[in-house]
Protein backbone atom coordinates (compact mmCIF):
# COMPACT_ATOMS: atom_id res chain seq x y z
CA UNK A 1 0.00 0.00 0.00
CA UNK A 2 1.37 3.39 -1.00
CA UNK A 3 2.29 5.54 1.99
CA UNK A 4 0.61 8.95 1.90
CA UNK A 5 1.71 12.22 3.47
CA UNK A 6 5.52 11.83 3.42
CA UNK A 7 7.65 14.91 2.85
CA UNK A 8 10.14 14.97 -0.02
CA UNK A 9 13.40 13.49 1.19
CA UNK A 10 16.60 12.05 -0.27
CA UNK A 11 18.80 9.43 1.40
CA UNK A 12 22.18 8.08 0.41
CA UNK A 13 22.65 4.34 -0.04
CA UNK A 14 25.60 1.97 0.30
CA UNK A 15 26.48 2.63 -3.38
CA UNK A 16 28.04 6.09 -3.95
CA UNK A 17 25.71 8.32 -5.95
CA UNK A 18 22.74 5.94 -5.73
CA UNK A 19 20.00 7.94 -3.99
CA UNK A 20 16.60 6.90 -2.65
CA UNK A 21 13.81 9.50 -2.75
CA UNK A 22 10.69 9.68 -0.60
CA UNK A 23 7.98 11.25 -2.77
CA UNK A 24 5.00 13.11 -1.32
CA UNK A 25 1.85 11.28 -2.40
CA UNK A 26 -1.59 12.79 -1.78
CA UNK A 27 -4.58 10.46 -1.84
CA UNK A 28 -8.17 9.84 -0.83
CA UNK A 29 -10.94 7.40 -1.70
CA UNK A 30 -10.71 8.35 -5.37
CA UNK A 31 -6.98 7.48 -5.73
CA UNK A 32 -3.75 9.44 -5.41
CA UNK A 33 -1.60 12.20 -6.95
CA UNK A 34 2.14 12.85 -6.82
CA UNK A 35 4.75 15.06 -8.46
CA UNK A 36 6.79 12.21 -9.88
CA UNK A 37 9.53 14.51 -11.17
CA UNK A 38 9.92 18.06 -9.87
CA UNK A 39 13.28 19.44 -10.87
CA UNK A 40 13.39 22.56 -8.72
CA UNK A 41 12.39 20.87 -5.47
CA UNK A 42 14.47 17.74 -6.04
CA UNK A 43 17.67 19.56 -6.98
CA UNK A 44 17.23 21.81 -3.94
CA UNK A 45 16.91 18.67 -1.80
CA UNK A 46 20.23 17.32 -3.11
CA UNK A 47 19.44 15.36 -6.29
CA UNK A 48 21.90 15.87 -9.19
CA UNK A 49 20.35 17.94 -11.98
CA UNK A 50 19.40 15.05 -14.25
CA UNK A 51 18.44 16.91 -17.43
CA UNK A 52 16.17 14.14 -18.80
CA UNK A 53 15.80 13.72 -22.56
CA UNK A 54 13.80 10.48 -22.68
CA UNK A 55 10.94 8.99 -20.62
CA UNK A 56 10.50 5.19 -20.72
CA UNK A 57 7.82 2.95 -19.21
CA UNK A 58 8.12 -0.80 -18.68
CA UNK A 59 4.76 -2.48 -18.06
CA UNK A 60 4.72 -5.91 -16.40
CA UNK A 61 1.64 -8.17 -16.35
CA UNK A 62 2.67 -10.84 -13.87
CA UNK A 63 4.01 -11.04 -10.36
CA UNK A 64 7.61 -12.26 -10.47
CA UNK A 65 8.57 -10.60 -13.74
CA UNK A 66 12.32 -10.05 -13.29
CA UNK A 67 14.44 -7.71 -15.43
CA UNK A 68 18.15 -6.74 -15.44
CA UNK A 69 20.91 -6.49 -14.28
CA UNK A 70 21.85 -3.71 -16.78
CA UNK A 71 24.33 -0.85 -16.36
CA UNK A 72 24.00 1.96 -18.89
CA UNK A 73 26.20 4.94 -19.85
CA UNK A 74 23.75 7.56 -18.55
CA UNK A 75 21.97 8.52 -15.35
CA UNK A 76 18.44 7.28 -14.64
CA UNK A 77 15.62 8.48 -12.41
CA UNK A 78 13.38 5.51 -11.65
CA UNK A 79 9.92 5.41 -10.10
CA UNK A 80 6.87 3.17 -9.98
CA UNK A 81 3.60 4.43 -11.48
CA UNK A 82 1.48 1.48 -10.41
CA UNK A 83 2.24 -1.64 -8.41
CA UNK A 84 5.33 -2.51 -6.43
CA UNK A 85 8.81 -3.84 -7.14
CA UNK A 86 11.79 -5.31 -5.36
CA UNK A 87 14.78 -3.48 -6.84
CA UNK A 88 18.44 -4.55 -6.88
CA UNK A 89 21.28 -2.26 -7.93
CA UNK A 90 24.88 -3.37 -8.45
CA UNK A 91 27.83 -1.00 -8.88
CA UNK A 92 29.55 -2.04 -12.12
CA UNK A 93 31.73 1.06 -12.36
CA UNK A 94 35.49 0.81 -12.38
CA UNK A 95 36.75 1.45 -8.84
CA UNK A 96 36.76 0.34 -5.22
CA UNK A 97 32.98 -0.14 -4.99
CA UNK A 98 32.75 -2.45 -8.02
CA UNK A 99 30.31 -5.24 -7.15
CA UNK A 100 28.58 -3.42 -4.26
CA UNK A 101 24.87 -4.29 -4.00
CA UNK A 102 21.88 -2.33 -2.71
CA UNK A 103 18.28 -3.58 -2.57
CA UNK A 104 14.99 -1.89 -1.71
CA UNK A 105 11.27 -2.09 -2.35
CA UNK A 106 9.72 0.70 -4.41
CA UNK A 107 6.08 1.66 -4.68
CA UNK A 108 4.51 4.90 -5.91
CA UNK A 109 5.84 6.80 -2.88
CA UNK A 110 9.53 6.09 -3.60
CA UNK A 111 11.95 6.74 -6.44
CA UNK A 112 15.65 6.16 -6.98
CA UNK A 113 18.42 8.05 -8.80
CA UNK A 114 20.75 5.59 -10.55
CA UNK A 115 24.09 7.07 -11.65
CA UNK A 116 25.86 6.04 -14.84
CA UNK A 117 27.46 2.59 -14.54
CA UNK A 118 25.31 1.35 -11.65
CA UNK A 119 23.29 -1.63 -12.88
CA UNK A 120 19.52 -1.59 -12.47
CA UNK A 121 17.23 -4.60 -12.01
CA UNK A 122 13.86 -5.35 -10.48
CA UNK A 123 11.29 -8.01 -9.74
CA UNK A 124 7.56 -7.21 -9.70
CA UNK A 125 5.70 -7.92 -6.47
CA UNK A 126 2.25 -7.02 -7.80
CA UNK A 127 0.51 -7.65 -11.10
CA UNK A 128 0.16 -4.81 -13.63
CA UNK A 129 3.23 -2.97 -12.38
CA UNK A 130 4.46 0.01 -14.43
CA UNK A 131 8.14 0.91 -13.97
CA UNK A 132 9.00 4.45 -15.18
CA UNK A 133 12.42 5.89 -15.82
CA UNK A 134 13.84 9.17 -17.08
CA UNK A 135 17.29 9.15 -18.69
CA UNK A 136 19.64 12.01 -19.61
CA UNK A 137 20.81 10.61 -22.93
CA UNK A 138 18.96 9.06 -25.83
CA UNK A 139 19.11 5.29 -26.08
CA UNK A 140 21.58 4.08 -28.68
CA UNK A 141 22.46 0.53 -29.79
CA UNK A 142 26.11 1.62 -30.10
CA UNK A 143 26.37 2.92 -26.53
CA UNK A 144 28.53 1.14 -23.93
CA UNK A 145 26.54 -1.24 -21.72
CA UNK A 146 27.59 -3.61 -18.95
CA UNK A 147 25.56 -6.55 -17.64
CA UNK A 148 25.55 -8.97 -14.71
CA UNK A 149 23.76 -12.28 -14.35
CA UNK A 150 20.69 -12.14 -12.11
CA UNK A 151 21.86 -15.29 -10.31
CA UNK A 152 25.44 -14.13 -9.72
CA UNK A 153 26.74 -15.83 -6.56
CA UNK A 154 28.97 -12.92 -5.55
CA UNK A 155 26.18 -10.35 -5.65
CA UNK A 156 23.96 -12.94 -3.91
CA UNK A 157 20.75 -10.97 -4.38
CA UNK A 158 17.94 -12.40 -2.22
CA UNK A 159 15.10 -12.24 -4.74
CA UNK A 160 11.66 -12.46 -3.02
CA UNK A 161 10.55 -14.91 -5.68
CA UNK A 162 13.30 -17.45 -6.43
CA UNK A 163 14.62 -17.05 -9.95
CA UNK A 164 13.63 -20.59 -10.88
CA UNK A 165 10.01 -19.56 -10.23
CA UNK A 166 10.29 -16.08 -11.79
CA UNK A 167 9.70 -14.85 -15.34
CA UNK A 168 13.08 -14.07 -16.99
CA UNK A 169 14.23 -13.42 -20.51
CA UNK A 170 16.76 -15.75 -22.14
CA UNK A 171 19.02 -12.77 -22.71
CA UNK A 172 19.12 -11.87 -19.02
CA UNK A 173 19.84 -15.47 -18.08
CA UNK A 174 22.86 -15.48 -20.41
CA UNK A 175 24.63 -12.48 -18.89
CA UNK A 176 28.08 -13.07 -17.29
CA UNK A 177 28.99 -13.61 -13.65
CA UNK A 178 30.76 -10.77 -11.84
CA UNK A 179 34.24 -12.20 -12.40
CA UNK A 180 33.72 -11.88 -16.17
CA UNK A 181 32.10 -8.43 -16.17
CA UNK A 182 34.07 -5.63 -17.79
CA UNK A 183 33.69 -2.59 -15.47
CA UNK A 184 32.31 0.58 -16.97
CA UNK A 185 35.06 3.17 -17.14
CA UNK A 186 34.50 6.67 -15.81
CA UNK A 187 33.91 9.44 -18.29
CA UNK A 188 37.10 11.21 -19.27
CA UNK A 189 38.45 14.75 -19.24
CA UNK A 190 39.24 16.44 -22.55
CA UNK A 191 41.90 19.16 -22.85
CA UNK A 192 41.83 21.46 -25.89
CA UNK A 193 45.01 23.39 -26.68
CA UNK A 194 47.23 20.53 -25.59
CA UNK A 195 50.54 22.00 -26.77
CA UNK A 196 50.28 25.43 -25.19
CA UNK A 197 52.01 26.38 -21.93
CA UNK A 198 49.02 25.32 -19.82
CA UNK A 199 48.28 22.28 -21.96
CA UNK A 200 51.80 20.96 -21.43
CA UNK A 201 51.47 21.44 -17.67
CA UNK A 202 48.08 19.69 -17.66
CA UNK A 203 49.68 16.69 -19.38
CA UNK A 204 51.78 16.24 -16.24
CA UNK A 205 49.05 17.05 -13.72
CA UNK A 206 46.30 14.99 -15.41
CA UNK A 207 47.98 12.28 -17.52
CA UNK A 208 44.76 10.26 -17.65
CA UNK A 209 42.98 12.98 -19.67
CA UNK A 210 42.64 13.10 -23.46
CA UNK A 211 44.66 15.89 -25.07
CA UNK A 212 43.91 17.42 -28.48
CA UNK A 213 46.12 19.91 -30.28
CA UNK A 214 44.87 22.62 -32.63
CA UNK A 215 45.72 20.36 -35.56
CA UNK A 216 43.59 17.56 -34.09
CA UNK A 217 40.65 19.76 -33.05
CA UNK A 218 40.49 23.20 -34.68
CA UNK A 219 38.48 25.23 -32.19
CA UNK A 220 37.79 27.85 -34.90
CA UNK A 221 36.06 25.33 -37.18
CA UNK A 222 32.38 25.09 -36.33
CA UNK A 223 32.15 21.71 -38.06
CA UNK A 224 34.59 20.23 -35.51
CA UNK A 225 31.91 20.51 -32.81
CA UNK A 226 29.12 18.80 -34.76
CA UNK A 227 30.02 15.12 -34.72
CA UNK A 228 32.54 15.04 -31.87
CA UNK A 229 31.92 12.25 -29.29
CA UNK A 230 31.12 14.60 -26.41
CA UNK A 231 29.24 11.87 -24.50
CA UNK A 232 32.56 10.13 -23.78
CA UNK A 233 33.56 13.03 -21.53
CA UNK A 234 32.53 14.55 -18.23
CA UNK A 235 34.77 17.62 -18.41
CA UNK A 236 36.36 19.86 -21.04
CA UNK A 237 39.30 22.11 -20.16
CA UNK A 238 39.72 24.90 -22.68
CA UNK A 239 43.44 25.72 -22.69
CA UNK A 240 43.24 27.14 -26.21
CA UNK A 241 43.27 30.91 -26.72
CA UNK A 242 44.54 33.79 -28.84
CA UNK A 243 46.97 35.53 -26.48
CA UNK A 244 48.96 37.90 -28.74
CA UNK A 245 47.67 41.07 -27.08
CA UNK A 246 49.41 43.52 -29.41
CA UNK A 247 48.53 41.62 -32.59
CA UNK A 248 44.88 41.71 -31.45
CA UNK A 249 44.91 45.48 -31.97
CA UNK A 250 45.42 45.08 -35.73
CA UNK A 251 42.53 44.53 -38.15
CA UNK A 252 43.59 40.97 -38.94
CA UNK A 253 44.47 40.16 -35.34
CA UNK A 254 41.19 41.56 -34.06
CA UNK A 255 39.26 39.15 -36.27
CA UNK A 256 41.41 36.20 -35.21
CA UNK A 257 41.15 37.09 -31.52
CA UNK A 258 37.35 37.31 -31.61
CA UNK A 259 37.08 34.07 -33.57
CA UNK A 260 39.26 32.05 -31.18
CA UNK A 261 38.41 33.71 -27.89
CA UNK A 262 34.70 34.37 -28.35
CA UNK A 263 33.00 32.67 -31.29
CA UNK A 264 34.78 29.35 -30.68
CA UNK A 265 34.12 29.57 -26.95
CA UNK A 266 30.44 30.07 -27.75
CA UNK A 267 30.40 26.86 -29.79
CA UNK A 268 32.18 25.03 -26.98
CA UNK A 269 29.83 26.40 -24.32
CA UNK A 270 26.86 25.23 -26.36
CA UNK A 271 28.33 21.73 -26.76
CA UNK A 272 29.02 21.48 -23.02
CA UNK A 273 25.51 22.65 -22.13
CA UNK A 274 23.83 20.25 -24.56
CA UNK A 275 25.89 17.31 -23.29
CA UNK A 276 25.84 18.19 -19.56
CA UNK A 277 29.63 18.61 -19.39
CA UNK A 278 31.67 20.66 -16.93
CA UNK A 279 33.57 23.38 -18.79
CA UNK A 280 36.81 24.77 -17.35
CA UNK A 281 37.85 27.99 -19.07
CA UNK A 282 40.93 30.12 -18.44
CA UNK A 283 40.34 33.85 -18.07
CA UNK A 284 42.72 36.79 -17.74
CA UNK A 285 43.56 39.83 -15.65
CA UNK A 286 43.05 41.80 -18.90
CA UNK A 287 39.28 41.79 -18.29
CA UNK A 288 40.04 44.64 -15.84
CA UNK A 289 41.49 48.09 -16.53
CA UNK A 290 43.98 47.84 -13.66
CA UNK A 291 42.93 51.07 -11.93
CA UNK A 292 41.86 49.40 -8.68
CA UNK A 293 44.11 50.24 -5.72
CA UNK A 294 43.51 46.74 -4.27
CA UNK A 295 43.59 43.17 -5.61
CA UNK A 296 40.73 42.22 -7.91
CA UNK A 297 38.06 39.89 -6.58
CA UNK A 298 36.07 37.54 -8.76
CA UNK A 299 32.93 39.68 -8.68
CA UNK A 300 34.44 42.96 -9.87
CA UNK A 301 32.72 44.28 -13.02
CA UNK A 302 34.56 43.92 -16.33
CA UNK A 303 36.43 46.98 -17.64
CA UNK A 304 38.80 45.77 -20.40
CA UNK A 305 41.08 48.28 -22.07
CA UNK A 306 41.97 46.57 -25.36
CA UNK A 307 40.74 44.01 -27.87
CA UNK A 308 42.30 41.01 -26.12
CA UNK A 309 40.71 41.96 -22.80
CA UNK A 310 37.37 42.57 -24.51
CA UNK A 311 37.41 39.08 -26.05
CA UNK A 312 38.29 37.45 -22.73
CA UNK A 313 35.49 39.31 -20.95
CA UNK A 314 33.01 38.27 -23.65
CA UNK A 315 34.15 34.65 -23.34
CA UNK A 316 33.67 34.73 -19.56
CA UNK A 317 30.08 35.86 -20.07
CA UNK A 318 29.47 32.97 -22.49
CA UNK A 319 31.05 30.34 -20.22
CA UNK A 320 28.98 31.59 -17.28
CA UNK A 321 25.85 30.36 -19.10
CA UNK A 322 27.05 26.74 -18.90
CA UNK A 323 25.31 25.12 -15.89
CA UNK A 324 28.52 23.37 -14.74
CA UNK A 325 31.52 25.66 -15.25
CA UNK A 326 34.72 26.92 -13.69
CA UNK A 327 36.25 30.16 -14.96
CA UNK A 328 39.85 30.23 -13.76
CA UNK A 329 41.15 33.80 -13.94
CA UNK A 330 44.91 34.12 -13.97
CA UNK A 331 47.74 36.54 -14.75
CA UNK A 332 51.33 36.68 -16.00
CA UNK A 333 51.58 33.01 -16.99
CA UNK A 334 54.98 31.28 -17.05
CA UNK A 335 55.49 27.75 -18.39
CA UNK A 336 57.31 25.82 -21.08
CA UNK A 337 58.16 27.81 -24.20
CA UNK A 338 58.92 31.50 -24.70
CA UNK A 339 57.99 33.74 -21.80
CA UNK A 340 59.17 36.75 -19.80
CA UNK A 341 61.38 34.81 -17.38
CA UNK A 342 63.19 32.95 -20.15
CA UNK A 343 63.73 36.22 -22.00
CA UNK A 344 65.22 37.93 -18.95
CA UNK A 345 67.47 34.94 -18.21
CA UNK A 346 68.71 35.02 -21.80
CA UNK A 347 69.43 38.76 -21.60
CA UNK A 348 71.33 38.25 -18.35
CA UNK A 349 73.50 35.52 -19.88
CA UNK A 350 74.32 37.78 -22.82
CA UNK A 351 75.29 40.70 -20.58
CA UNK A 352 72.45 42.93 -21.74
CA UNK A 353 71.16 45.61 -19.38
CA UNK A 354 67.43 45.92 -20.12
CA UNK A 355 64.87 48.58 -19.40
CA UNK A 356 61.79 46.91 -17.90
CA UNK A 357 58.38 48.31 -17.03
CA UNK A 358 58.05 49.20 -13.35
CA UNK A 359 54.50 50.57 -13.10
CA UNK A 360 52.57 47.39 -13.91
CA UNK A 361 52.01 45.39 -10.73
CA UNK A 362 50.98 41.75 -10.31
CA UNK A 363 52.07 38.20 -9.55
CA UNK A 364 53.50 35.50 -11.77
CA UNK A 365 51.49 32.33 -12.35
CA UNK A 366 53.53 29.20 -13.04
CA UNK A 367 51.64 26.68 -15.11
CA UNK A 368 52.33 23.81 -12.71
CA UNK A 369 50.28 25.67 -10.07
CA UNK A 370 47.64 26.72 -12.58
CA UNK A 371 47.24 23.09 -13.67
CA UNK A 372 47.24 21.88 -10.05
CA UNK A 373 44.55 24.41 -9.17
CA UNK A 374 42.35 23.23 -12.03
CA UNK A 375 42.84 19.63 -10.95
CA UNK A 376 41.90 20.64 -7.40
CA UNK A 377 38.64 22.28 -8.53
CA UNK A 378 37.64 19.23 -10.55
CA UNK A 379 38.53 16.86 -7.69
CA UNK A 380 36.96 18.79 -4.82
CA UNK A 381 34.01 20.18 -6.83
CA UNK A 382 33.36 23.43 -4.95
CA UNK A 383 30.52 25.65 -6.16
CA UNK A 384 30.75 26.48 -9.84
CA UNK A 385 31.77 29.99 -10.84
CA UNK A 386 34.89 32.11 -11.22
CA UNK A 387 38.08 31.48 -9.23
CA UNK A 388 41.17 33.69 -9.28
CA UNK A 389 44.39 31.71 -9.48
CA UNK A 390 47.94 33.02 -9.55
CA UNK A 391 50.92 32.27 -7.38
CA UNK A 392 51.02 33.71 -3.87
CA UNK A 393 53.57 36.32 -2.84
CA UNK A 394 53.91 40.10 -2.87
CA UNK A 395 52.59 42.10 -5.79
CA UNK A 396 55.63 43.16 -7.79
CA UNK A 397 56.46 44.94 -11.02
CA UNK A 398 57.93 43.39 -14.13
CA UNK A 399 61.16 45.25 -13.32
CA UNK A 400 61.25 43.74 -9.80
CA UNK A 401 60.82 40.25 -11.26
CA UNK A 402 63.49 40.85 -13.91
CA UNK A 403 65.92 41.97 -11.18
CA UNK A 404 65.24 38.74 -9.28
CA UNK A 405 65.90 36.71 -12.43
CA UNK A 406 69.26 38.46 -12.81
CA UNK A 407 70.15 37.83 -9.18
CA UNK A 408 69.06 34.18 -9.19
CA UNK A 409 71.11 33.51 -12.33
CA UNK A 410 74.24 35.03 -10.76
CA UNK A 411 74.09 38.44 -12.42
CA UNK A 412 73.83 41.98 -11.09
CA UNK A 413 70.15 42.94 -10.44
CA UNK A 414 71.18 46.58 -10.78
CA UNK A 415 71.61 45.91 -14.51
CA UNK A 416 67.79 46.10 -14.76
CA UNK A 417 66.48 49.65 -15.16
CA UNK A 418 62.86 50.43 -14.37
CA UNK A 419 60.84 52.58 -16.79
CA UNK A 420 57.21 53.58 -17.06
CA UNK A 421 54.88 51.85 -19.49
CA UNK A 422 54.50 55.12 -21.38
CA UNK A 423 58.26 55.53 -21.81
CA UNK A 424 58.79 51.86 -22.69
CA UNK A 425 56.32 51.96 -25.58
CA UNK A 426 57.02 55.53 -26.69
CA UNK A 427 57.09 55.75 -30.50
CA UNK A 428 55.73 52.24 -31.00
CA UNK A 429 52.45 51.64 -32.84
CA UNK A 430 49.86 48.92 -32.43
CA UNK A 431 50.53 48.40 -28.73
CA UNK A 432 47.69 47.10 -26.60
CA UNK A 433 46.92 48.95 -23.37
CA UNK A 434 48.01 47.06 -20.27
CA UNK A 435 46.30 47.04 -16.86
CA UNK A 436 48.53 48.73 -14.28
CA UNK A 437 47.31 46.50 -11.44
CA UNK A 438 46.94 42.79 -12.30
CA UNK A 439 46.96 41.52 -8.72
CA UNK A 440 44.21 38.99 -8.06
CA UNK A 441 42.57 38.29 -4.71
CA UNK A 442 43.13 34.56 -4.01
CA UNK A 443 40.94 34.18 -0.93
CA UNK A 444 38.15 32.35 -2.76
CA UNK A 445 40.28 29.50 -4.10
CA UNK A 446 42.30 29.21 -0.89
CA UNK A 447 39.00 28.78 0.98
CA UNK A 448 38.47 25.57 -1.03
CA UNK A 449 41.71 24.11 0.34
CA UNK A 450 44.15 25.06 -2.44
CA UNK A 451 47.00 27.44 -1.64
CA UNK A 452 49.54 27.92 -4.46
CA UNK A 453 53.24 28.36 -3.82
CA UNK A 454 54.77 31.83 -3.84
CA UNK A 455 56.01 33.09 -7.17
CA UNK A 456 59.48 33.65 -5.67
CA UNK A 457 59.71 29.95 -4.72
CA UNK A 458 58.54 28.82 -8.16
CA UNK A 459 60.85 31.31 -9.91
CA UNK A 460 63.87 29.88 -8.14
CA UNK A 461 62.84 26.32 -9.02
CA UNK A 462 62.10 27.31 -12.61
CA UNK A 463 65.51 28.89 -13.15
CA UNK A 464 67.27 26.00 -11.42
CA UNK A 465 65.71 23.50 -13.81
**pLDDT tens readout for residues 311-340:** 999 999 999 999 999 999 999 999 998 999
- At residue 140 the predicted structure's pLDDT band, cuts being 50, 70 and 90, is confident
According to the model, what pLDDT value does residue 2 have? 57
- Mean pLDDT for 83-97 is 96
Domain end (from 138, 153, 180): 180
- 285 contact partners, CB below 8 Å, separation of at least 6: 296, 329, 330, 331, 332, 362, 435, 438, 440
According to the model, what pLDDT value does residue 4 have? 66
**pLDDT tens readout for residues 247-267:** 999 999 999 999 999 999 999
Is 410 within the bounds of a domain? yes
What CATH number did the domain enclosing 398 receive? Answer: 3.40.50.720
According to the model, what pLDDT value does residue 3 have? 62
Is 303 within the bounds of a domain? yes
User: By the 8 A CB rule, do 8 and 36 touch?
Assistant: no
According to the model, what pLDDT value does residue 137 have? 87
Question: Does the pLDDT at position 359 exceed 80?
Answer: yes
Nearest Cα neighbor of 142 from 54, 224, 231, 77 is 231
Is 163 within the bounds of a domain? yes
Residues annotated as catalytic (active site), given as ranges? 70, 133
Q: How many domains does the chain have?
A: 2
- At residue 6 the predicted structure's pLDDT band, cuts being 50, 70 and 90, is confident
Q: Indicate the pTM of the whole model.
A: 0.85
Domain end (from 146, 180, 214): 180
Q: Is the torsion defined by CA of 60, 63, 67, 69 positive or negative?
A: positive
- Mean pLDDT for 290-300 is 97
> What does the angle CA 127 – CA 128 – CA 130 come to, to the nearest 5 degrees?
125
254 φ, ψ (degrees, to nearest 5) = -60, -45
According to the model, what pLDDT value does residue 167 have? 95
- Mean pLDDT for 288-308 is 97
What CATH number did the domain enclosing 167 receive? Answer: 2.60.120.10
Could you tell me if 199 and 325 lie in one domain? yes
**pLDDT tens readout for residues 440-457:** 999 999 999 999 999 999
Domain end (from 124, 158, 180): 180
User: By the 8 A CB rule, do 289 and 314 touch?
Assistant: no
- Mean pLDDT for 346-361 is 97
- Mean pLDDT for 75-87 is 96
Start-to-end CA span in the chain (Å): 71
C-alpha R_g of the chain = 28
- Would you give the distance in Å from CA 369 to the centre of its chain? 18
Question: Does the pLDDT at position 53 exceed 70?
Answer: yes
- Would you give the distance in Å from CA 2 to the centre of its chain? 40
- Structural domain including 406 reads 188-464
Could you tell me if 315 and 436 lie in one domain? yes
**pLDDT tens readout for residues 191-234:** 999 999 999 999 999 999 999 999 999 999 999 999 899 988 99
User: By the 8 A CB rule, do 334 and 362 touch?
Assistant: no
Is 23 within the bounds of a domain? yes
Q: How far apart are CA 25 and CA 36, in angstroms?
A: 9
Question: Does the pLDDT at position 65 exceed 80?
Answer: yes
Q: What is the mean pLDDT of the chain?
A: 95
Q: How far apart are CA 374 and CA 123, in angstroms?
A: 44
Could you tell me if 67 and 84 lie in one domain? yes
Question: Does the pLDDT at position 1 exceed 70?
Answer: no
Amino acid sequence: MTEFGKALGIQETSIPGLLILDLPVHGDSRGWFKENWQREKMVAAGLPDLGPVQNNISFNDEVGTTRGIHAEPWDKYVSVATGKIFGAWVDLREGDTFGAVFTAELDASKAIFVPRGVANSYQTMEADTAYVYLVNNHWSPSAEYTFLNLADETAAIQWPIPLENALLSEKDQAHPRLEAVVPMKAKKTLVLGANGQLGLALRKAMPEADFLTRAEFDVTDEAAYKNFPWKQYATVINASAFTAVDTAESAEGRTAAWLTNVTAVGWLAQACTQNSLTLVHVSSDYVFDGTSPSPYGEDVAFSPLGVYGQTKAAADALVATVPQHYIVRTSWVIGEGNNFVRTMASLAERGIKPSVVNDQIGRLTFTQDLAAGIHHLLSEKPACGTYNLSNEGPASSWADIAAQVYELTGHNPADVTGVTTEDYFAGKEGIAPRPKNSTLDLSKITSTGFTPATWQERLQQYLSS
